[in-house]
Amino acid sequence: MQKRQLGRSGLEVSALGLGCMGLSYGYGPATDTADAVKLIRAAFDRGITFFDTAEAYGPFINESVVGEALQPMRDEVVIATKFGFRDGDTSKGLDSRPERIRQVAGEALKRLRTDRIDLFYQHRVDPSVPMEDVAGTVKDLVREGKVKHFGLSEAGADSIRRAHAVQPVAALQSEYSLWWREPEDTVLALLEELGIGFVPFSPLGKGFLTGAIDAQTSFDATDFRNTVPRFAPQARQANRALVDVLAGIAARRQVTPAQLALAWLLSRKPWIVPIPGTTRLHRLEENAGAASVLLSPEDLQEIEAAVAAVPVQGARYSADRQKLVGN
Protein backbone atom coordinates (compact mmCIF):
# COMPACT_ATOMS: atom_id res chain seq x y z
CA MET A 1 0.00 0.00 0.00
CA GLN A 2 1.16 3.55 -0.73
CA LYS A 3 2.43 5.73 2.10
CA ARG A 4 1.47 9.28 2.99
CA GLN A 5 2.96 12.02 5.14
CA LEU A 6 0.70 13.58 7.76
CA GLY A 7 1.29 17.20 6.88
CA ARG A 8 4.81 18.49 7.47
CA SER A 9 5.32 16.48 10.64
CA GLY A 10 7.50 13.83 9.03
CA LEU A 11 5.11 11.13 10.27
CA GLU A 12 4.73 8.58 7.46
CA VAL A 13 1.80 6.15 7.51
CA SER A 14 -0.08 3.90 5.11
CA ALA A 15 -2.58 5.74 2.88
CA LEU A 16 -5.38 4.08 4.83
CA GLY A 17 -5.27 3.30 8.52
CA LEU A 18 -7.40 1.03 10.68
CA GLY A 19 -9.80 2.53 13.19
CA CYS A 20 -9.87 -0.07 15.95
CA MET A 21 -12.67 1.38 18.12
CA GLY A 22 -15.43 -0.85 16.78
CA LEU A 23 -13.58 -3.98 17.85
CA SER A 24 -14.28 -3.11 21.49
CA TYR A 25 -16.70 -0.22 21.73
CA GLY A 26 -19.54 1.72 20.18
CA TYR A 27 -21.05 -0.74 17.73
CA GLY A 28 -22.37 -3.51 19.94
CA PRO A 29 -20.65 -6.35 21.82
CA ALA A 30 -16.86 -6.43 21.76
CA THR A 31 -15.16 -8.74 19.29
CA ASP A 32 -13.48 -11.76 20.87
CA THR A 33 -9.89 -10.80 21.66
CA ALA A 34 -8.35 -13.56 19.56
CA ASP A 35 -10.47 -12.57 16.57
CA ALA A 36 -9.65 -8.89 17.05
CA VAL A 37 -5.93 -9.63 17.21
CA LYS A 38 -6.24 -11.71 14.05
CA LEU A 39 -8.02 -8.90 12.20
CA ILE A 40 -5.45 -6.26 13.21
CA ARG A 41 -2.60 -8.49 12.07
CA ALA A 42 -4.46 -9.17 8.81
CA ALA A 43 -4.56 -5.41 8.27
CA PHE A 44 -0.79 -5.23 8.72
CA ASP A 45 -0.37 -8.09 6.24
CA ARG A 46 -2.30 -6.01 3.70
CA GLY A 47 0.00 -3.02 4.06
CA ILE A 48 -1.79 -1.03 6.75
CA THR A 49 0.71 0.46 9.19
CA PHE A 50 -1.44 3.08 10.98
CA PHE A 51 -3.64 1.93 13.87
CA ASP A 52 -5.99 4.11 15.90
CA THR A 53 -7.18 3.41 19.44
CA ALA A 54 -8.01 5.27 22.68
CA GLU A 55 -8.24 4.63 26.39
CA ALA A 56 -11.96 5.44 26.16
CA TYR A 57 -12.66 2.53 23.80
CA GLY A 58 -13.89 -0.05 26.24
CA PRO A 59 -12.67 1.77 28.26
CA PHE A 60 -9.09 0.47 28.18
CA ILE A 61 -9.86 -2.84 26.44
CA ASN A 62 -9.08 -1.63 22.95
CA GLU A 63 -5.59 -0.41 23.79
CA SER A 64 -4.76 -3.81 25.27
CA VAL A 65 -6.01 -5.62 22.17
CA VAL A 66 -4.04 -3.31 19.87
CA GLY A 67 -0.94 -3.71 22.01
CA GLU A 68 -1.15 -7.50 21.91
CA ALA A 69 -1.78 -7.57 18.17
CA LEU A 70 1.03 -5.23 17.19
CA GLN A 71 3.74 -6.22 19.64
CA PRO A 72 5.49 -8.54 17.13
CA MET A 73 5.73 -5.78 14.50
CA ARG A 74 5.87 -2.75 16.77
CA ASP A 75 8.74 -1.01 14.99
CA GLU A 76 6.97 -1.29 11.63
CA VAL A 77 3.72 0.43 12.63
CA VAL A 78 2.38 3.76 13.88
CA ILE A 79 0.06 3.62 16.89
CA ALA A 80 -2.24 6.51 17.78
CA THR A 81 -4.12 6.73 21.05
CA LYS A 82 -5.96 9.45 22.96
CA PHE A 83 -6.52 11.17 26.30
CA GLY A 84 -9.25 13.52 27.41
CA PHE A 85 -12.11 11.81 29.26
CA ARG A 86 -12.41 11.53 33.03
CA ASP A 87 -11.32 8.04 34.08
CA GLY A 88 -11.34 7.08 30.41
CA ASP A 89 -15.14 7.02 30.48
CA THR A 90 -16.97 9.11 27.88
CA SER A 91 -20.03 9.32 30.14
CA LYS A 92 -18.10 11.09 32.91
CA GLY A 93 -17.12 14.22 31.02
CA LEU A 94 -13.85 15.74 29.94
CA ASP A 95 -10.52 15.79 31.78
CA SER A 96 -7.38 17.12 30.12
CA ARG A 97 -5.64 18.32 33.27
CA PRO A 98 -1.85 17.98 32.87
CA GLU A 99 -1.63 15.36 35.62
CA ARG A 100 -4.34 13.31 33.94
CA ILE A 101 -2.60 13.51 30.55
CA ARG A 102 0.57 12.17 32.14
CA GLN A 103 -1.35 9.40 33.87
CA VAL A 104 -3.05 8.36 30.62
CA ALA A 105 0.27 8.29 28.79
CA GLY A 106 1.88 6.05 31.38
CA GLU A 107 -1.02 3.62 31.49
CA ALA A 108 -1.37 3.55 27.70
CA LEU A 109 2.29 2.65 27.27
CA LYS A 110 1.74 -0.41 29.46
CA ARG A 111 -1.43 -1.52 27.71
CA LEU A 112 0.10 -0.96 24.28
CA ARG A 113 3.23 -2.90 25.29
CA THR A 114 5.51 -0.17 23.99
CA ASP A 115 7.94 2.52 25.09
CA ARG A 116 6.44 5.36 23.02
CA ILE A 117 3.13 6.61 21.66
CA ASP A 118 3.57 7.58 18.03
CA LEU A 119 0.61 9.97 17.93
CA PHE A 120 -1.12 11.20 21.10
CA TYR A 121 -4.43 12.95 20.50
CA GLN A 122 -6.53 15.08 22.79
CA HIS A 123 -9.79 13.21 22.27
CA ARG A 124 -11.98 16.30 22.70
CA VAL A 125 -11.15 19.90 23.58
CA ASP A 126 -11.59 20.50 27.31
CA PRO A 127 -12.86 24.08 27.83
CA SER A 128 -11.81 24.00 31.51
CA VAL A 129 -8.12 23.50 30.68
CA PRO A 130 -6.24 26.08 28.60
CA MET A 131 -5.06 24.59 25.33
CA GLU A 132 -1.60 25.97 26.06
CA ASP A 133 -1.43 23.77 29.16
CA VAL A 134 -2.54 20.70 27.20
CA ALA A 135 -0.03 21.28 24.42
CA GLY A 136 2.68 22.12 26.92
CA THR A 137 2.17 18.85 28.75
CA VAL A 138 2.38 16.86 25.53
CA LYS A 139 5.48 18.87 24.61
CA ASP A 140 7.10 17.66 27.82
CA LEU A 141 6.13 14.07 27.02
CA VAL A 142 7.72 14.48 23.59
CA ARG A 143 10.93 15.73 25.20
CA GLU A 144 10.91 12.70 27.48
CA GLY A 145 10.56 10.34 24.51
CA LYS A 146 7.21 8.94 25.65
CA VAL A 147 5.31 10.58 22.79
CA LYS A 148 6.47 11.22 19.23
CA HIS A 149 3.71 13.43 17.82
CA PHE A 150 0.77 15.50 19.10
CA GLY A 151 -2.74 15.37 17.65
CA LEU A 152 -6.18 16.87 18.23
CA SER A 153 -9.59 15.34 17.63
CA GLU A 154 -12.76 17.28 16.73
CA ALA A 155 -10.99 20.57 17.50
CA GLY A 156 -11.92 23.88 15.90
CA ALA A 157 -9.67 26.44 14.26
CA ASP A 158 -8.95 28.50 17.39
CA SER A 159 -7.90 25.45 19.42
CA ILE A 160 -5.73 24.17 16.57
CA ARG A 161 -3.87 27.47 16.26
CA ARG A 162 -3.31 27.79 20.01
CA ALA A 163 -2.07 24.22 20.34
CA HIS A 164 0.19 24.41 17.30
CA ALA A 165 1.88 27.56 18.65
CA VAL A 166 3.09 25.57 21.68
CA GLN A 167 3.70 22.09 20.27
CA PRO A 168 3.41 21.34 16.54
CA VAL A 169 0.21 19.45 15.80
CA ALA A 170 0.90 16.54 13.46
CA ALA A 171 -2.71 15.59 12.75
CA LEU A 172 -6.31 16.52 13.31
CA GLN A 173 -8.77 13.66 13.56
CA SER A 174 -12.40 14.55 12.84
CA GLU A 175 -15.35 13.10 11.01
CA TYR A 176 -15.23 13.63 7.24
CA SER A 177 -16.94 11.74 4.46
CA LEU A 178 -19.24 12.12 1.50
CA TRP A 179 -22.10 12.67 3.92
CA TRP A 180 -20.32 14.94 6.41
CA ARG A 181 -18.27 17.62 4.67
CA GLU A 182 -18.17 20.39 7.25
CA PRO A 183 -14.34 20.23 7.58
CA GLU A 184 -14.10 21.66 4.07
CA ASP A 185 -15.60 24.90 5.38
CA THR A 186 -14.02 24.97 8.83
CA VAL A 187 -10.53 23.47 9.03
CA LEU A 188 -9.04 22.12 5.79
CA ALA A 189 -7.55 25.43 4.68
CA LEU A 190 -6.03 25.98 8.13
CA LEU A 191 -4.52 22.50 8.15
CA GLU A 192 -2.91 23.14 4.79
CA GLU A 193 -1.59 26.51 6.01
CA LEU A 194 -0.03 25.02 9.13
CA GLY A 195 1.15 21.75 7.58
CA ILE A 196 -1.10 19.53 9.68
CA GLY A 197 -2.33 16.16 8.44
CA PHE A 198 -5.99 15.17 8.51
CA VAL A 199 -7.26 11.79 9.70
CA PRO A 200 -10.96 11.34 8.89
CA PHE A 201 -12.83 8.99 11.19
CA SER A 202 -16.14 7.48 10.10
CA PRO A 203 -15.05 7.88 6.45
CA LEU A 204 -17.86 5.50 5.49
CA GLY A 205 -20.53 7.39 7.40
CA LYS A 206 -20.53 4.96 10.33
CA GLY A 207 -21.22 2.19 7.84
CA PHE A 208 -24.02 3.89 5.95
CA LEU A 209 -22.03 4.58 2.79
CA THR A 210 -21.31 0.87 2.35
CA GLY A 211 -24.93 0.37 1.29
CA ALA A 212 -25.46 -2.33 3.93
CA ILE A 213 -27.80 -0.21 6.10
CA ASP A 214 -31.39 0.75 5.31
CA ALA A 215 -34.52 1.86 7.17
CA GLN A 216 -35.20 -1.71 8.32
CA THR A 217 -31.74 -2.30 9.80
CA SER A 218 -31.79 -2.85 13.57
CA PHE A 219 -28.79 -2.10 15.75
CA ASP A 220 -27.67 -3.79 18.94
CA ALA A 221 -28.96 -2.06 22.07
CA THR A 222 -25.43 -0.90 22.91
CA ASP A 223 -24.75 0.52 19.42
CA PHE A 224 -24.35 4.30 19.71
CA ARG A 225 -25.97 4.81 16.30
CA ASN A 226 -29.29 4.35 18.10
CA THR A 227 -28.75 7.86 19.51
CA VAL A 228 -27.72 9.50 16.23
CA PRO A 229 -30.50 11.49 14.50
CA ARG A 230 -29.04 10.69 11.08
CA PHE A 231 -29.70 7.00 11.80
CA ALA A 232 -33.34 7.37 12.80
CA PRO A 233 -35.41 5.13 10.49
CA GLN A 234 -37.02 8.04 8.63
CA ALA A 235 -33.65 9.71 8.07
CA ARG A 236 -32.12 6.45 6.91
CA GLN A 237 -34.89 6.02 4.39
CA ALA A 238 -34.28 9.52 3.00
CA ASN A 239 -30.49 9.19 3.04
CA ARG A 240 -30.63 5.93 1.15
CA ALA A 241 -31.13 8.00 -2.00
CA LEU A 242 -27.55 9.26 -1.76
CA VAL A 243 -26.19 5.76 -1.27
CA ASP A 244 -28.13 4.49 -4.27
CA VAL A 245 -26.72 7.23 -6.52
CA LEU A 246 -23.17 6.60 -5.32
CA ALA A 247 -23.65 2.85 -5.80
CA GLY A 248 -24.51 3.49 -9.44
CA ILE A 249 -21.30 5.48 -9.94
CA ALA A 250 -19.30 2.78 -8.15
CA ALA A 251 -20.78 0.06 -10.35
CA ARG A 252 -19.75 1.90 -13.50
CA ARG A 253 -16.23 2.18 -12.09
CA GLN A 254 -16.31 -1.52 -11.11
CA VAL A 255 -15.62 -0.75 -7.44
CA THR A 256 -17.78 -1.04 -4.34
CA PRO A 257 -19.59 1.95 -2.78
CA ALA A 258 -17.18 1.82 0.17
CA GLN A 259 -14.17 1.89 -2.13
CA LEU A 260 -15.62 4.85 -4.01
CA ALA A 261 -16.19 6.77 -0.77
CA LEU A 262 -12.65 6.09 0.48
CA ALA A 263 -11.05 6.86 -2.90
CA TRP A 264 -12.91 10.17 -2.95
CA LEU A 265 -11.41 11.09 0.43
CA LEU A 266 -7.93 10.10 -0.70
CA SER A 267 -8.33 12.33 -3.74
CA ARG A 268 -9.06 15.43 -1.67
CA LYS A 269 -5.54 16.09 -0.35
CA PRO A 270 -2.29 14.07 -0.27
CA TRP A 271 -2.10 14.55 3.50
CA ILE A 272 -5.51 13.01 4.23
CA VAL A 273 -5.43 9.49 5.73
CA PRO A 274 -8.85 7.92 6.43
CA ILE A 275 -9.16 5.29 9.16
CA PRO A 276 -12.14 3.05 8.33
CA GLY A 277 -12.94 0.47 10.95
CA THR A 278 -14.43 -2.99 10.63
CA THR A 279 -14.74 -6.28 12.46
CA ARG A 280 -14.88 -8.40 9.29
CA LEU A 281 -12.01 -9.63 7.16
CA HIS A 282 -13.83 -9.24 3.85
CA ARG A 283 -14.62 -5.61 4.67
CA LEU A 284 -11.00 -5.04 5.65
CA GLU A 285 -9.87 -6.37 2.27
CA GLU A 286 -12.49 -4.28 0.48
CA ASN A 287 -11.40 -1.10 2.28
CA ALA A 288 -7.72 -1.74 1.67
CA GLY A 289 -8.46 -2.09 -2.03
CA ALA A 290 -9.66 1.51 -2.11
CA ALA A 291 -6.07 2.74 -1.83
CA SER A 292 -5.44 1.68 -5.43
CA VAL A 293 -8.61 3.23 -6.87
CA LEU A 294 -7.83 6.38 -8.86
CA LEU A 295 -10.78 8.63 -9.67
CA SER A 296 -10.69 10.76 -12.81
CA PRO A 297 -11.75 14.43 -12.88
CA GLU A 298 -14.93 13.26 -14.59
CA ASP A 299 -15.58 10.75 -11.77
CA LEU A 300 -15.11 13.47 -9.18
CA GLN A 301 -17.45 15.83 -11.01
CA GLU A 302 -20.11 13.12 -11.16
CA ILE A 303 -19.74 12.43 -7.45
CA GLU A 304 -20.01 16.14 -6.61
CA ALA A 305 -23.18 16.46 -8.68
CA ALA A 306 -24.68 13.40 -7.00
CA VAL A 307 -23.97 14.66 -3.49
CA ALA A 308 -25.30 18.14 -4.28
CA ALA A 309 -28.56 16.67 -5.56
CA VAL A 310 -29.36 14.65 -2.42
CA PRO A 311 -29.20 16.64 0.84
CA VAL A 312 -28.45 14.41 3.84
CA GLN A 313 -31.17 14.29 6.49
CA GLY A 314 -30.54 14.37 10.25
CA ALA A 315 -27.82 15.68 12.56
CA ARG A 316 -24.61 13.65 12.86
CA TYR A 317 -24.69 13.73 16.69
CA SER A 318 -27.26 13.91 19.46
CA ALA A 319 -27.40 17.30 21.20
CA ASP A 320 -25.38 16.01 24.19
CA ARG A 321 -22.67 14.54 22.03
CA GLN A 322 -22.48 17.64 19.87
CA LYS A 323 -21.49 19.66 22.95
CA LEU A 324 -18.18 17.78 23.00
CA VAL A 325 -17.14 19.13 19.60
CA GLY A 326 -14.49 21.79 20.28
CA ASN A 327 -13.99 25.32 19.06
Q: Quick check: is 25 catalytic?
A: no
Angle, helix 281-289 to helix 33-45, in steps of 10 degrees: 20
What CA–CA distance (Å, rounded) separates 290 from 61?
A: 29
Q: Which of 27, 57, 121, 176 is catalytic?
A: 57
CB 142 within 8 A of CB 125: no
Alpha carbon of 327 to those of 120, 141, 158, 182: distances in Å?
A: 19, 24, 6, 13
Based on its alpha-carbon atoms, the radius of gyration of the chain, rounded to whole angstroms, reads: 19
Question: Rounded CA gap, 165 and 132, in Å?
Answer: 8
Separation between Cα atoms, residue 238 and residue 160, nearest integer Å: 35
Alpha carbons 1 and 49: distance in angstroms, whole number: 9
Distance CA 84, CA 172 (A): 15
Cβ–Cβ < 8 Å for 178, 268: no
Could you tell me which residues are beta bridge partners of residue 78?
A: 50
Cβ atoms < 10 Å from Cβ of 321: 15
What values do phi and psi take at 72, rounded to 5? -65, -25
Q: H-helix or E-strand containing 237?
A: helix 233-253
Catalytic residues: 57
